[in-house]
Structure 1
């Protein structure tokens, strides 16, 4: 089977492409650095030729203003059009747990537009919503920077390893389209402030974390449970402590 990975050189795309190859399928790697521009459409026709499944793990370079919305609207429309032209039988895309509750944020509003475009396309699809990646915890902490401290919400989340998300995407890519949403979260639940303290301590960073229930999350004040997956979500296996140990060893 030929599977096109759009966003193949990103955090998830790199891992996903390798898993698919190891399982014996052909991967068409599509990314800007490889000459495929999903926003302009350049290179898409060639990348999708003969493709049965497309996995969309593209991401916007900017989270603010209209940049994310412009990216996801143009990229998703072009990918869907190219998928229709190529006769792709399954459009699988990565989204974010909590997206419908966070649309006051520019980024999450853009992700909602992406999801809606896919659902309205009449193409067989599956949407995988994931919680925050361990790999992006540093960036999450930085959003709360306030002088020499970090002001972060105690709202709960279940962060997950990008490798576990890639593994589930690979599994879904070779299955039948669900025309529905699947969720995945990590095995442990933490407050965002607690995650920050654990991460900073592991990196021997002595800066302090201040718990602030009004602290925003990418422009949104969080409500209880907004970042938690539903009861039927897949539970990933890699724990934050194990990921941190490996990250410190590398």
Structure 2
């Protein structure tokens, strides 16, 4: 059983390269397997803000994303483990495709943090995939229920 990332094949560097190696090891490891690819969790937004802030600025890649609740990914993994090895199961994303900058803006507003969002147009294949929405699940994939705003409300950010 392995958890990977939707669109992992779009880049061959960093985390994505590592996830591709992980998937290959699981597939060819000699034991029956299941792989679930998921979009970024809702927690990706505050993590991005923390990692990409410089003083009053937060640098945000131009990116379509479809964030999913970590609890829904965990439940899917448990169900998959209980069902037994099934190869690659349908990708899982959240209920809505959104621009990352809009999610960052909502998070900053609801947590009363003052930062100026600076959009970044990332170069290369990964930047293009982010802008084109290639890191979200294809039609027919599994879809979570909790939206990003519902997640914020559940945290007490209103």
What TM-score do the two structures reach when normalised by structure 2? 0.88
Aligned length: 154
Match of 1:122 in 2: 30
Q: Matched residue of 2:59: which SS?
A: strand
Structure 2 gaps of 5+ residues are none
Match of 2:151 in 1: 243
* Bigger RCO of structures 1 and 2 (CA < 8 A, at least 6 apart): 2
Matching residue within 234, 239, 246 for 2:142: 234
Q: Matched residue of 2:90: which SS?
A: strand
Correspondence 1:221 to 2:127: yes
Say whether the 8 Å CA contact 1:93–1:126 is kept in structure 2.
yes
- Deviation per residue, 1:177-202 (Å, 9 max, x gap): 21224310000111111111011111
Displacement of 1:233 after TM fit? 1.3
Correspondence 1:95 to 2:1: no
Aligned equivalents of 1:168, 1:233: Cα separation in 2 = 13
Match of 2:118 in 1: 210
Correspondence 1:135 to 2:43: yes
Matching residue within 111, 119, 144 for 2:19: 111
Q: How does 1:1-250 map to 2 (within 5 A)?
A: 92-104=1-13, 106-214=14-122, 220-223=126-129, 224-248=132-156
Displacement of 1:215 after TM fit? 7.4
Q: Matched residue of 1:114: which SS?
A: helix
Aligned equivalents of 2:26, 2:68: Cα separation in 1 = 24
Post-superposition, which runs of at least 4 consecutive aligned residues in structure 1 deviate over 3 A? none
What TM-score do the two structures reach when normalised by structure 1? 0.57
Displacement of 1:162 after TM fit? 0.5
Aligned equivalents of 1:129, 1:241: Cα separation in 2 = 23
- The structure-2 alpha-carbon separation of the partners of 1:237 and 1:157, relative to structure 1 and needing over 3 Å to count, comes to same
Say whether the 8 Å CA contact 2:62–2:122 is kept in structure 1.
no
